[in-house]
Each structure stands twice: as C-alpha cells, then as structure tokens.
Structure 1
Amino acid sequence: MSDRDTGLPPNWEVRHSNSKNLPYYFNFADKTSRWEPPADTDTEKLKVYMAKYHSGATGIGASTDAYQQQIQQQQQQQQAGKIRAAHLLVKHRDSRRPSSWREANITRSKEDARSIIEGYDKRIQSGEISLGELALTESDCSSARKRGDLGFFGKGDMQKEFEEASFGLQPGQVSGIIETASGLHLIER
C-alpha cells in the first residue's frame, strides 16, 4: 500500500468541497461525485487515508491570530444561544440513511451497532482515546473528517433527541449513547 493509497476503485479520487469544507468522492472517468464512497471501496485503506489527509485537525503551527478569531467566534455564537458539539455516529441498517463515507451499504443490526458504540464509549470513558480521535476513523458521519465537530447549532437545528442531549451537557462532558433516526451517537459538548 503506497502512502497515498485511498482504497477507492479505479477512476475514483478524494476531492475537497470548498462550499462544505468536506472531502467527497469524484469519478474522473464519468465526472460523477458523491459524499459516500463508491461500491468496492477498501474501507480499511480509506479510513487510514482519510485520517491522515482529511482529518481537518489543526496543526501545531496554527497562527495565534486564527486561534484568537476562533475564540471570538465561539463567544459570539454562545451569546446567540448556540452551542458547539462533536459526535461519533454508528449507523445500522434501520438508520434513516444506511450508508456513510466508510461503507456504501450498512447492513449491521441496531444491536450490533449498540455493541460497537458501547465499546467506543468504554474506550473514551477510560481515557484511552478521545471522542475526536475515535471519530476520525470510526464515525459514520461525514463530520468524522473534522473529528466529529458539528460546529455551532441552536435549538431546533438538530434532531430532538440529539438536541436535548447536547444542550444537557456541560462543556467538555460526553453523553451516554443517544439514539436518533440517524443511528447511535456519543456526543461531546
């Protein structure tokens, strides 16, 4: 496996959407694009590639000005009644959209998804790994590329169960397992 092996089938590559600030999949032969990986993707190779090249992690050399702007933005958003949260999503076959950047067709049962997310929860609670680090490679949400960061949102912006859990957390606190139509979540405010 080369350093930049994406695991995608022939003619597919990972590109970056400037409007959504997220990676997407592009077929340069037929000029089609999609948010989920195409069929026949080697998901293990794709996970490694995406974590390495599309994680959205801020480097150590990030400028102080950019950091100060981010702090100001956070303060303005909080004053507007919004909060910021990150999450790790595990989808199952009964999820609203049973596909993700990791897997074109999710076939696991809800019970299997619960077992998986319970394992992630234990690892996070033990301090072995952070929610953001785990989300990079394991979350079924496209926010995985940003360590699960969903940005700021207010009341009415998210599914009811997700919103209630998020607003019920203190900053830095991680929720228990939350079930929505999208799947099973762990949320960190």
Structure 2
Amino acid sequence: MSTEETGLPAHWTVRFSKSKNLPYYFNTSTNVSQWAPPPDADTEKLKVYMANKFPATMLQPSEGGGQAGKIRCSHLLVKHEGSRRASSWKEAKITRTKDEAMEIILGFEARVRDGSVSLADLALTESDCSSARKRGDLGFFGRGEMQKEFEDAAFELRPGEMSHAVETASGIHLIERLE
C-alpha cells in the first residue's frame, strides 16, 4: 500500500487489531502503533482508503455463535524483553526475561487449574495484550489469522479447555477455547 493510495506519511501503514476488531496505524520505522491517524496524514485520501479496505460490515462484532471453520478463544499474554513489541497497556517498556515471563505464566496456569481464579478474571488485570479490557476475548478467528504457534494450540483445544504455556513472537500465552 503506497503513501499515495493511503494518504499516510512515509513509514506509516494500516494494520488490523483482531482483539479490538478495528484498524490501527503503525509506523514501521519507529514501531509505534496508535488508534488515531498520524497528524500529517491526508485525511481525504485516508477516508477513501479506509472505507474501501475496511467496510462497515467487516467491523461488526459477530453474534449468535460460531462461523464455519472459526473458533473463539480468550488468552492471557505475558510479554518479555525479547517479545516483538516489549511494551503493553500496563508497561511502556517490559524488561523481564523470558524465564521470568514463563515463571509468571506457570503461576497463572496453576491458579486457573486449581479453580481459584478464571483465566478471564486474570486476563483483565494481568494480560499484556490490549484484549485484557475484554477479559482476554479475541473473538472468532480461522486458520491463518493468528501466529502459527498460537493457532496450532488453539485449534487443538475443545471448548472449555485451556492450553499450557504457548510461546510466540508476542510472548507467552495461556489460551482458553470458548467456542
């Protein structure tokens, strides 16, 4: 997608958040992401591009159960210094090691498995993903829409089951299949 097509300044692209079901803006040079367009965007070109790329029907939440070939999961993510974006809604810069992140996730897993807390309740306050606001709910997704390790683990689960620790480029996850 070119700057002429999108109306965005150099190094800016439009990406799509699966957790929020909304497009967002990402600077490939600085790795900054934001919900609002950059200040120097050509808003007229951007409006046309966004209307064509993301029709309103695409942004509606799915209702009434699953879609063919899709599953619905929630997750809890613990990032570490090696994560592809070592920051979150809770911390501007994550400095914990991968081993520390694994120790944290294993503690969370033990608490969920012993029934002292639900994954959704933990995700709300502890997940490093913005889906925390939705109790970790990622909505419906199909094959090819998530990172391979996440997808493989999620599709192996039956509704109501939770994975063990799953490592991806984003960090370490616990995944619960909802539907």
Structure 2 length-normalised TM: 0.65
Kindly indicate whether residue 152 of structure 2 is the aligned counterpart of residue 164 of structure 1: yes
TM-fit CA distance, 1:99? 0.2
Q: 1:145 aligns with which of 128, 133, 139?
A: 133
Kindly indicate whether residue 102 of structure 2 is the aligned counterpart of residue 131 of structure 1: no
* Alignment partners' CA distance in 2, 1:180 and 1:188: 16
* Alignment partners' CA distance in 2, 1:152 and 1:181: 21
The equivalent of 2:170 in structure 1 is: 182
Give the 5 Å matches for 1:75-94: 75=66, 77=67, 80-94=68-82
Give the 5 Å matches for 1:85-104: 85-104=73-92
Give the 5 Å matches for 1:1-189: 20=20, 34=34, 70=63, 72=64, 74-75=65-66, 77=67, 80-189=68-177
Secondary structure of the equivalent of 2:88?
coil
TM-fit CA distance, 1:135? 0.1
Could you tell me which amino acid in structure 2 is paired with residue 174 of structure 1?
M
Residue segments in structure 2 that go unaligned for 5+ positions in a row = 1-19, 23-32, 36-61
The equivalent of 1:25 in structure 2 is: none
* Alignment partners' CA distance in 2, 1:116 and 1:176: 13
Secondary structure of the equivalent of 1:99?
coil
* Alignment partners' CA distance in 1, 2:157 and 2:163: 7
Residue segments in structure 1 that go unaligned for 5+ positions in a row = 1-19, 23-32, 36-68
Could you tell me which amino acid in structure 2 is paired with residue 159 of structure 1?
Q
- The one-character-per-residue Cα deviations of 1:95-125 (angstroms, maximum 9, x if unpaired) are 0100000100000000000111111000000
Coordinate RMSD, CA, aligned: 1.8
The equivalent of 1:47 in structure 2 is: none
TM-fit CA distance, 1:21? 7.0
Secondary structure of the equivalent of 1:143?
helix
* Alignment size in residue pairs: 122
Identity value in percent? 66
TM-fit CA distance, 1:34? 4.3
* Alignment partners' CA distance in 2, 1:146 and 1:110: 25
Could you tell me which amino acid in structure 2 is paired with residue 164 of structure 1?
D
Structure 1 length-normalised TM: 0.62
